[in-house]
Structure 1
Amino acid sequence: MSQYSAILGTGASLPRRAVSNQELTEFLASRGVETSAEWIETRTGIKQRYLCEADETNCQMASRAALQALNAAGVLPDQVDLIVLATSTPDQVFPSTACAVQAEIGAKKAMAFDIQAVCSGFVYALTVADSMIRSGQVGNALVIGSEVFSRLMDWNDRTTCVLFGDGAGAVFIQASAEPGILGCKLHSDGTLGCILNTTGRIDGGKIVGDPFLRMDGQAVFRQAVSVLGSNALELFESLDFRLEDLDFLVPHQANVRILHSVAKKLKLPEERVVITVGMHGNTSAASVPLALNHAIEQKQIKKGDNVLLQGVGGGFTWGSVLVRM
């Protein structure tokens, strides 16, 4: 009998503080950076984002999201075999944030490691966990996307600082005789690393290079729209899956214009595209699981639905995972 993996539970966690566009523009104005709440929403679809306070950590958010996913699945932490955590903003260089989560939630039997693929991180992590279940190495896994991107922001750079927020999302997946995760397709193009990056590093106890996130917004927009549409069709063709059988698209929540453009390329009605960028901003690796959890909580996505999860981000990386819920 073939072994597949299926999503049994989802979870999410956000920082305490929600920051509206108006509050953000007032803060930026105090620094001499001119923008407006209307400018941000019109160009991005973002109305607010959540930002971590100094005492809030990546591990804390990831652990809360993980426990919520386990609770939804009716599973105890000591039953978890594997924790794969996608993040570009760990609390420390090492140990990994996944190991910190393992300790925090008491998942004593789980192997744990991080994956770094920026905004594609969650679909990369989900693909790895699915592969390990399919190969029989583990029976179940927690897959988490968790980010504190506010700590990479240059608050004098209007082109980036209005876009990003913090948060965490998680899913619990388990071996299944029936396919839940139907297929995955991942890609990368390292020659495009220059269009979205944070190039700074620690060397000799000092930060060397630029510690802030930098982005060529137009180049990222063009690449995202191009690769997400073609990647979805590539995955569908490999699975002999019909586009008309897709119930929902849960894409990386970068910019509402990108989401609308991808939906148009796939000839998908916008009511079948899950959009949460307005309330969360761009939370990088956390955006897909946050959006998925929200859609399930709102009873938008239901058991049996065919759902396409998509990520695209720095690297340049992109990928798609087709799931039957």
Structure 2
Amino acid sequence: MRVLLVTDAWRPQVNGVVRTIEHLVEHAPACGATVALLTPDGFFSVPMPTYPEIRLSLARAAAAEAKIRKAAPDHVHIATEGPLGLAARRACVRNGWGFTTSYHTRFPEYLRRRAPVPERWTYAWLRWFHNAGDGVMVATASLAEELAARGFKRIMTSTRGVDSERFRPRPGIDVFGLPRPVFLNVGRIAPEKNIEAFLKLDLPGSKVVVGDGPSRAALTAAYPSVRFTGTMVGEDLANAYASADVFVFPSRTDTFGIVLLEALASGLPVAAYPVTGPIDVLAGSGAGALDDDLQAAAIAALSLSKETARAAGLRFGWEAAARMFVENVRVAVERRKSEPTNFKRTGSPSPPR
């Protein structure tokens, strides 16, 4: 089966969505499918306001349709709700092509932090976007329940994974050379990540933030005692995880958090709020401390076992995640065939090959 995955999020961005897509492409062949990509690389793009590292493609539905026809896939999966995802959705709806989508990001909450836009308006738009498809894939059971309560239909769970060979305990590694214990955060430095909740904590030892983003300059100036490293990837990132003692995840809005898995696989206990993502990954594992008091969680995580954290991370593999994705696509294709009256689109069930 050939799947064309449409995404507005792509290199040189460094985030969980991009890493997820990279690993799906790598592991899907072992699950009986190939995944080709339709990315902003094929279109003229402009920098996103406040996020210049993110390029917004100026894609029309006709141009997206031409590229979908040329790719001749058996199925289209739209991973993001950006301009390219919207153009692909329009092309699929106009031609009656079956497609699935992913819900990666809490745009209503993120947008509300930047503009006075009520969340209910954005959620209404997202329902319109996703409910037109044959299935919407989400990373966790708790998010699936939340979206179902908000009126999203045909929800499927599609988990994430971690490269446990790269992200592993590395005894003796210490790339920071800071007083112990070292509390680490990895991710985009932006308002919606709530990083300042971590930076404000009164903790022993040292704090390190790995990543970049629009809030980095202001937070670096406001918290001079915190080590801000900038973006790290590959072995450098793996060594950074292995050099810390606790991973602190202050986000209240992430839908999953691949960095949680990378930290666990590296042997780092996690401190987080009891919200979607951390609850799904950590509950019952003994590898994390969840508390509405993030400082209490961070201190509690210091006493947790690194071996237990590593074992929790090993539960998540990319091949299993790819298999779940491919199976969801197959279910969506069969659902559309067996329930044609549930879909308002007309035309052939898949793009012409």
TM score, norm. by length of structure 2: 0.26
Q: Which has the larger radius of gyration?
A: 2
User: Of Structure 1 and Structure 2, which has the larger fraction of its residues in strand?
Assistant: 1
TM score, norm. by length of structure 1: 0.28
